Structures are given as C-alpha cells and as structure tokens.
Amino acid sequence: MRNSALKNSFFNIVKRRKFICSVCGQSIKRFLPLDSFYAENAKKYGYKYFGQGETINLESYLCPVCGATDRERLYSLYIDKFVLNEKVADDTSPKLSLLHFAPDKALAQKITTDGFFQYRSADLLMEGVDDKIDITNLYIYKDSYFDCFICSHVLEHVTDDTKALRELFRIIKPGGWGILMVPIIPSLIHTHEDYTKTTEEERWQFFGQGDHVRLYAKDDFISLTERAGFVVEQFNVKKFGEKIFKTHGIALGSVLYIAKKACSNI
C-alpha cells in the first residue's frame, strides 16, 4: 500500500511538471519570465517594439534549473534533432569542430559535456573564452577551418555586420553550417540603423538595448546573410512540431536561422 502511494505521488509530481528544458534535460513546472528590467527600460526610453521580437517567449524565458533562455533551448533542440541524430547514425565520423561566439553558459556546458564537438569559444570582451577575438577580423583562424558555429545575438552589437558575416563564411568549411540569430522585428520593412545614435538612452529607444547598434528586419537580415555567401534555412514550428515547442517553452512564432556554406563554394 505504501509503495503504491509513493508511486502515485511520483507520477502526480511528474504530471504537474509539464515542461522540459532541452538544455539540462530537467522536467519543470514552469519556466521563468523575462526579467522586468527590459520592460521597464523599454517603457522608460520609449522603445516601441518591446515583446514583438520574432524569437522570444516573455513568459517562459528562463529555465529555473540551468538558466537556459528560450533561444538556447531552441538551439539545443536543433542540435539534438537535426545534427546529432545524423551523427549517431554514423558514429565513425570525426567530431565536428564548432566555434561558439559569446557563449551562453548553459548551452556551452551542454555542448562540451555531450562530447560530440571539438568545441572552441570566442569573444572580444568576455572573460574565460578560448580566444579573445573581434568577429570582424578572425585572423587567427584559417580559411574553411570549422565545421560549424553558433553566433547568437552578436551581430546587433557589431558596427560592421557585413564584414563579420564575411569572416564567418570564410572560416566555415564547404558544407558547413552555423546557428545565426539576431533580434528580428517581423513588422519592420527595413532594418533600423543609425550611427548617430550613440548614447545608451538613444540605443534603448531605437534599438531596444543600450549596447545595440541596429534593429533587424527579417528580409534584410536574410539578404545580408545571403550576400555574404550563405544559404539561409529557416526552422520554425512546422519543422519541430507544435508539441515540441510548447513542451520546451518556445514561442510558436519562433524561427531558427541556419546559415549554410554550399559545398561548391570554396
């Protein structure tokens, strides 16, 4: 009788924990919302696009266990479903070399713990990375050096995003790919970019954060990436399934951008 009661109690707990974090693998009752700091500053400085980003879940933003954001959980789902599934099927292939810019702690830990990649981290200002390097001048890496990269919410901080994309294209092997993400406002017709806006207050008002230098429109971002040489693939809810998105706290309108270097490009 006691064992039966314990078993029922366990299943009731599991049932109440209806979400899963794809980064740490934990079942949880709920994800945490985006810190109110962002909404408060958006209101303070008059940023009119708050909450309208293409890939953000304001109410289910953060994993309470590992701290992974919703976009990290999306990247983890992509790696598990579309990268590692193929690699496990061919376990004789060598590890993929991956360069991770401005690495988020939770996702970096998952990737390095899984052991499927030869992992390297990079950033110009962040402490603790393998390489302190400017993304617009990746001179320490040879042409076609890495199999893949993760560049998430970096380009909106970079003055010359065109140069950064060209460098990413240069260091990726033909047939390689990258997770390439920026804040995108779907309602924008053109990317907002104004280099006269230099103060923190102005950048909050026009770009949604004090250290951003632009706000991307979807079509402009895709065109910019394609002009650098990449082929852009979009992975939305149809690719993953609505149930997967809901279970992992991903907003249904979220889109993951994968930049691929065609095998014919050398």
Each residue of 48-67: pLDDT tens digit? 999 999 999 999 999 999 99
Distance CA 264, CA 266 (A): 6
Report DSSP state, residue 62. B
φ, ψ of residue 28 in degrees (nearest 5): -135, 160
Question: Could you tell me which CATH number the domain at 2-260 has?
Answer: 3.40.50.150
Residues in the chain: 266
Asked if the model's pLDDT at residue 10 lies above 60, the reply is: no
What pLDDT is recorded for position 15? 52
Domain locations along the chain: 2-260
What pLDDT is recorded for position 56? 96
Model confidence at 7, pLDDT cuts 50, 70, 90, reads very low
Contact at 8 Å (CB) between 117 and 95?
A: yes
Report DSSP state, residue 156. G
Mean pLDDT check: name the lowest of 9-18, 89-98, 200-209, 242-251. 9-18
What pLDDT is recorded for position 110? 96
Asked if the model's pLDDT at residue 177 lies above 60, the reply is: yes
For the chain, what is the largest distance between any 2 Cα atoms, rounded to a whole number of angstroms?
Answer: 73
Would you give the end-to-end CA distance of the chain in angstroms? 68
Model confidence at 2, pLDDT cuts 50, 70, 90, reads very low
Contact at 8 Å (CB) between 122 and 129?
A: yes
To the nearest whole number, what is the mean pLDDT of the chain?
A: 92
Asked if the model's pLDDT at residue 126 lies above 50, the reply is: yes
What pLDDT is recorded for position 12? 44
pLDDT, mean of residues 237-248: 97
Q: What six digits make up the tokens of 69?
A: 């954001």
What pLDDT is recorded for position 85? 76
Contact at 8 Å (CB) between 181 and 257?
A: yes
Distance CA 75, CA 23 (A): 9
Model confidence at 17, pLDDT cuts 50, 70, 90, reads low
